[in-house]
Amino acid sequence: MRPETLHQMAGRENELKDELFKAAFERDRFEEALAISNPSERAYAVSQFFKSQNPAAVFAASKEVVQIGPKALPALRAVLQNPDFLPNYGEIVLSMARVGRIDAGPWCGDFHHHVRLGRNGY
C-alpha cells in the first residue's frame, strides 16, 4: 500500500468513529425521551428526532408518536412550524394523519397549502 492510501484510510476511520459516537449519543437521547412518563411531554421530546439525519431515528420518532396517539398532535404541530424540520415534513405530516386521522385532515391540508405557497414565493 502506498502511504497516501494509508493516510486516507486513517481519515475515513476517524469519520466512521465520529458517526458511531453521534449515533450512540442520539440513541441515548432517544431512550431518555422514551422514559418520560407524561405522554404529551414524551411526544415533544421524541418529536425532536424528526430533524435527525438518521432515517432510523426519524422512523422511531414516527412510530412512537403514533403509539402515543392524539396527545402527540400538539407536539407534531409545533415541529411543523419549525424550518429545521423541513427535510422530514412529509414524515411528520404522515404521522400526524395516523395519529389524528379525521381531526388532523384540515390542519394537514392547510399546512400543505401554506408550504406550497411559501416555496413558490406567492
b/e code 23-34 from CB counts within 10 Å (16+ = b): eeebeebbeebe
Domain of residue 94 covers 3-120
| Spatial separation of the C-alpha atoms in residues 64 and 50, rounded to whole Å | 11
Provide the number of structural domains found in the chain. Answer: 1
Q: What is the DSSP letter of 85?
A: G
List Cβ<8 Å contacts ≥24 apart for 28-35. Answer: 30/57, 30/60, 30/61, 34/64
Mean pLDDT of 106-113: 55
Task: Give residue 80's pLDDT.
Answer: 83
Instruction: From 86, 80, 87, 83, select the one nearest 107 (Cα to Cα).
Output: 80
Which has the higher per-residue pLDDT, 37 or 110?
A: 37
Interval 32-90: pLDDT, tens: 999 999 999 999 999 999 999 889 999 999 999 999 999 998 999 888 888 888 888 88
